[in-house]
Amino acid sequence: MKYLDEYRDAELAQGLLEQIRRERKRPWVLMEVCGGQTHSIVKFGIDNLLPKEIELVHGPGCPVCVTPLELIDKAHAIASRPEVIFCSFGDMLRVPGSECDLLTVKSRGADVRVVYSPLECLKIARKHPDRQVVFFAIGFETTAPANAMLVWRAKQDGLENVSVLVSHVLVPPALEAILDSPWNRVQGFLGPGHVCAIMGYQEYEEICARFHVPIVITGFEPVDLLEGVLMAVRQLEEGRAEVENQYVRAVTRAGNIAARKIVSSVFRVCARKWRGVGPIPHSGYRLREEFEAFDAERRFEVGTIVTQESPVCISGEVLRGVKKPHDCLAFGIECTPAHPLGATMVSSEGACAAYFQYGRYQKVGVGE
């Protein structure tokens, strides 16, 4: 398939691996920021192909994983109301709240629907003027433009039966939180390709300079990831710390100006809680005042719901790159994709789920 096969080319990949082996002199710890990158790394077995002196730790970039428990409980409370049609991206449906997941809420009679684009909610709202259509607006900067567009269009079209439950998070403050931590081991980042396709990479230049850490904005296919690793290793070996752009076919320094404009006209930056990590200042979006009428938390008065997370789960440490999924005692035993205890086991992009699905709890290799 065009634009795909060339980035999964075995010869190119082997060439990059050879170059990484040649240029690497010291051991390095790199973090891939995005869940999509983690997924590819494990799916294609990239971490097993890299020299063992290069350790990849998995970053906090899975939007499903970092959505706080409290917000999921609020989603369940809203979805359970008879007048509500609750719309969500597919993989949010299996995220465990403190009692169950949205699939179970659905099995009890709630009207929960998977949508592929937030804008589908407009159609649903027009079709059911007597019902309340609520969209679970989660994600990083990548999904923010489409979610913002939903709210903007709902206001334009006077669709009063639309609202959004917002849990938007932002990458740069999370990277700063990781780098600020006394336990930090990360020496270089494979930056979030899709986030930067929207936002550009100006924000990352400041982080590079402040923490003297290389950030290579990287794509999601095997050849992208290997090239990203090579560029990061090269910077580390040469003592450089810059923002470099591996993902040139999608990312520019300024990003997508139109998308940024709609985001900033609908959302404003606020503090957000991250599941497993806790609150991080300036790390999320909330609706601007002029759009607050579309805030589902207000409309359905669920602001009082407060919840605690499972004490067994180490997803916070996994998200910060301090621990690996199989360091957890519950991994693969009490905690599986069918019965996730914590966020990182839930989404197929979560580090624990990726490890479980691709069998990293038992190391075996194909016909060595």
Partner 1 sequence: MADENKRRNMPGELCPAPVIDHKQIVLGHGSGGKLTQDLIEKIFLPSFRNDYLARLNDQAVLELKGSRIAFTTDSFVVTPIFFPGGDIGRLAVNGTVNDLAMSGAVPRFIAAAFILEEGLAADDLVRVVESMRQAAADASVLLVTGDTKVVNRGKGDQVFITTTGLGILERPVTISADQARPGDRILLSGAIGDHGMAIMSRREGLEFEGPMESDTAPLDTLVAAMLEASEQIHCLRDPTRGGVATVLNEIAARSQVGMELDGRSIPVRESVKGACEILGLDPLYVANEGKLVAVVAPEAADAVLNRMRAHPLGRDACCIGEVVAAHPRRVLVKTEIGGSRILDVMMGEPLPRIC
CA-to-CA distance for 69 and 305, rounded, in angstroms? 10
- Nearer CB in complex with partner 1: 14/202: 14
E-strand ranges in the chain read 28-34, 54-61, 84-88, 111-114, 132-139, 162-169, 188-192, 215-218, 243-245, 267-274, 278-287
Give me the least distance between CB of 237 and partner 1, in Å please: 24
C-beta of 92: minimal distance to partner 1 in Å?
Answer: 7
Q: How far is the CB of 367 from partner 1 (least distance, A)?
A: 6
Nearer to partner 1 by Cβ, of 220 and 267: the residue is 220
Q: Which is nearer to partner 1, 154 or 223 (CB)?
A: 223
Binding site for partner 1 (CB under 8 A): 1, 4, 8-10, 13-14, 36, 42-46, 48-49, 63-64, 89-94, 103-104, 106-108, 114, 116, 138-140, 142-143, 194, 222-223, 333-334, 336-339, 347-349, 356-359, 362, 364-367
62/138 Cα distance (integer angstroms): 10
* CA pair distance 295, 151, nearest whole angstrom: 9
For partner 1, give the closer residue by CB, 116 or 182: 116
Q: How far is the CB of 114 from partner 1 (least distance, A)?
A: 7
Q: Shortest gap between Cβ of 287 and partner 1 (angstroms)?
A: 20
- HSE-CB of 10 using CA atoms within 13 angstroms: 0
Measured from the CB atom, the residue of 100 and 209 that comes closer to partner 1 is: 100
CB of 211 to partner 1, least distance (A): 26
CB of 311 to partner 1, least distance (A): 13
Whose Cβ is closer to partner 1: residue 139's or residue 214's? 139
Q: Is 103 left (phi over 0), alpha (psi -120 to 50) or beta?
A: alpha
By beta-carbon proximity to partner 1, the closer residue of 93 and 266 is 93
Least distance (Å) from partner 1 to the CB of residue 90?
A: 4
* Side-chain-facing half-sphere of 190: CA atoms under 13 Å: 38
Closest CB to partner 1 among residues 173, 192: 192
Alpha-carbon span 4 to 238, nearest angstrom:
32
Residue position matching structure tokens 């789960």: 313
Distance, in Å, from the CA atom of 288 to the CA atom of 20, rounded to the nearest integer, reads: 46
DSSP structure string for 176-229: HHHHHSTT----EEEEEHHHHHHH-SHHHHHHHHHHT--EEEE-SSHHHHHHHH
> Are 59 and 269 spatial neighbours (Cβ–Cβ below 8 Å)?
no
Q: In whole angstroms, what is the distance from residue 172 CA to residue 52 CA?
A: 28
Residue 297 beta carbon to partner 1: minimum distance, rounded to whole angstroms: 20
| 93: DSSP letter | G
Q: Give the span between the Cα atoms of 81 and 342, in whole angstroms.
A: 26
Dihedral sign computed on CA atoms, order 325, 330, 335, 340 = negative
Q: Which is nearer to partner 1, 103 or 257 (CB)?
A: 103
Measured CA to CA, the distance from residue 238 to residue 232 in angstroms comes to: 10
Q: How far is the CB of 257 from partner 1 (least distance, A)?
A: 20
For partner 1, the closer of residues 10 and 306 by Cβ is: 10
Q: Count other C-beta atoms under 10 Å from residue 344's C-beta.
A: 36
